[in-house]
Structure 1
C-alpha cells in the first residue's frame, strides 16, 4: 500500500494523567482536521458505554466539531464514503474490529483514508491502524473474523505503552508480551507509544508527537524513539 495521501493521527490514549477526556488531544485533533468540522465517529469499541452516550461524550469534549455516530446511519458504508473525516474511539479493540467486519466498512475506510480523508483514532482506534490487532492490550471478549486491521502502517502498534511494573506482580510485563510477539514475528516491528503521545502519518512521513519518548520493539531489540523523530522507515 502506498502512503501518499494518508493523513492519519494515532493517539495513544483519550486522557493524559488526570486531565479531562480528550483535553490533551484536542489541539492535535483540531490541527489534524484543518478546516473540517464534520466528523463521522465510529463508537464500535464501546462495550459497557452505549454508542449514543459515546457520541455525546466525544461531542462534549470537541465542541468545535459536529459528531455523527456511524451506528445512526442507514448505510454504514455510504456514511464512510461520504464522510469529511473519520474518528475512531477507544474501548475494546476486538469488539471494534468485529463490528467493522460485521458492518463491512473496513475496506471502505481503507479506501477513503487512502484518498486523503483525515483519520483520527485513539487507543483501540489507533491499534487498528497497524497491520493487525495482535499487539493490543485488550481481552478477546469477542472473536472478529480476522485480526487483520486497516494496515495504514505495515507494522504493529501498542498504545497505552507502559514499562511500569507493580510491586509483587508476577505476571508478564508489557515488554515481555511485546517480545513474545517479536520473537514469533521478527520482521514486524511494534511501535509502542505512551499515553499523551501520538503517531502522525502525513505527507509521506511518520513522526512521534507529544513530549514523551516511545519504543520500537523488533526481534530481541528495544530501541527508544523521541518526540518529533522521523519514523518514516517503518512505512516500508
Structure 2
C-alpha cells in the first residue's frame, strides 16, 4: 500500500527546515528508525554531504536517523532495503538526471508502490508525477527523459504562486505556463501553494495544509479545492 507525503516545500516563511510539517512527519515515520535521504537535487549547488547533514539534524528532533543515499556502495540496493525514503528539494533536472544515471527509477518506483514510506519536498515531489514538465526549475542538465516515477496519475507544480497585484514583472504567471503545458499534454496538474501537501495512503489521495490547492485539468477552467479534499478520481 502506497504511503507518501508530496509537499510543495521544505520551508515556509518564518519557519525552519521542515518545521511546519515535522509533527506530522513524526507520525508518518513512526514505524521506522532510519530514513534514507536522496540528496541529489543539491539546492544552491551544495554537496551531498552538506545536504544530508541538514536533513540529519532536523530528523534528530523526532529521533530518526538519516543516511544519505550517496553513502552506500550500491544505491539501488539501499533503495530496496530502505525503511523509509526522503527526497529533498533543489533542481529537479539535476535530481532526475542522477536517478537515471544510477538506474534508480524502477527500484524507487517499486519500493514506493510496495509501501515504503516516501516523503518528497519540491523537486522530490516533482518526481512523483508523470513527468517533470511542470517544474519551475531551469534545465541546467539534460536527463535522459522527463518521465518521472508516475506514482500519482498527474503532474505537480510545487511552489505554485498566484499573480501578485501591482507586480512590476510583466512575464508569464505560473497559470500561464501550465496552460501552455496543456496545449501539448493532457494530464492534470496540481498547483501546490506553499505549506500544502498531498498525502497518499493506498488508493486515498488527499490534499493537506492550510491553503486552497489550484487544480488544472485539460480543456477545463482552473479551480480551487479545500484541504482534506480527495482527488482519487483525478486522472
TM-score by length of 1: 0.94
1:163 aligned residue: 162
Q: Per the alignment, in what secondary structure is the counterpart of residue 192 of structure 2?
A: strand
1:192 and 2:191 equivalent?
yes
Q: In 2, Cα distance between the equivalents of 1:211 and 1:227? A: 6
1:10 aligned residue: 6
Structure 1 residue 28, shift from structure 2 partner: 2.3
Q: In 2, Cα distance between the equivalents of 1:146 and 1:28? A: 33
Task: Kindly indicate whether the alpha-carbon contact (under 8 Å) linking 1:16 and 1:196 is maintained by their aligned counterparts in 2.
Answer: yes
Structure 1 residue 170, shift from structure 2 partner: 1.1
Q: Per the alignment, in what secondary structure is the counterpart of residue 55 of structure 2?
A: helix
Q: In 1, Cα distance between the equivalents of 2:200 and 2:182? A: 23
1:34 aligned residue: 30
- Structure 1 segments (4+ residues) deviating >4 Å: none
Q: In 2, Cα distance between the equivalents of 1:90 and 1:156? A: 16
Q: Deviations over 1:147-192 (max 9, x none)?
A: 000001121001111103362211101110011112222x311011
1:50 aligned residue: 47
2:75 aligned residue: 76
Structure 1 residue 203, shift from structure 2 partner: 2.7
Structure 1 residue 140, shift from structure 2 partner: 0.2
Q: How many residues align?
A: 230
Q: In 2, Cα distance between the equivalents of 1:196 and 1:50? A: 26
Task: Identify the range of structure 1 (27-36 vs 137-146) with the bigger mean alpha-carbon deviation.
Answer: 27-36
Q: Per the alignment, in what secondary structure is the counterpart of residue 27 of structure 1?
A: helix
1:113 aligned residue: 112
Q: In 1, Cα distance between the equivalents of 2:128 and 2:94? A: 15
Q: Deviations over 1:44-99 (max 9, x none)?
A: 00051111010110111111210000001000100001100111000000000000
Task: Identify the range of structure 1 (24-33 vs 139-148) with the bigger mean alpha-carbon deviation.
Answer: 24-33
Residues 112-131 of structure 1 aligned to structure 2 (within 5 Å): 112-131=111-130
Q: Per the alignment, in what secondary structure is the counterpart of residue 56 of structure 2?
A: helix
Q: Deviations over 1:119-158 (max 9, x none)?
A: 1000000010000000000000000000000001121001
1:232 aligned residue: 232
Q: Per the alignment, in what secondary structure is the counterpart of residue 113 of structure 1?
A: helix
Task: Identify the range of structure 1 (124-133 vs 214-223) with the bigger mean alpha-carbon deviation.
Answer: 214-223
1:203 and 2:218 equivalent?
no
Question: CA RMSD, aligned part only?
Answer: 1.1
Q: Per the alignment, in what secondary structure is the counterpart of residue 80 of structure 1?
A: helix
Q: Per the alignment, in what secondary structure is the counterpart of residue 58 of structure 1?
A: helix
Task: Kindly indicate whether the alpha-carbon contact (under 8 Å) linking 1:11 and 1:25 is maintained by their aligned counterparts in 2.
Answer: no
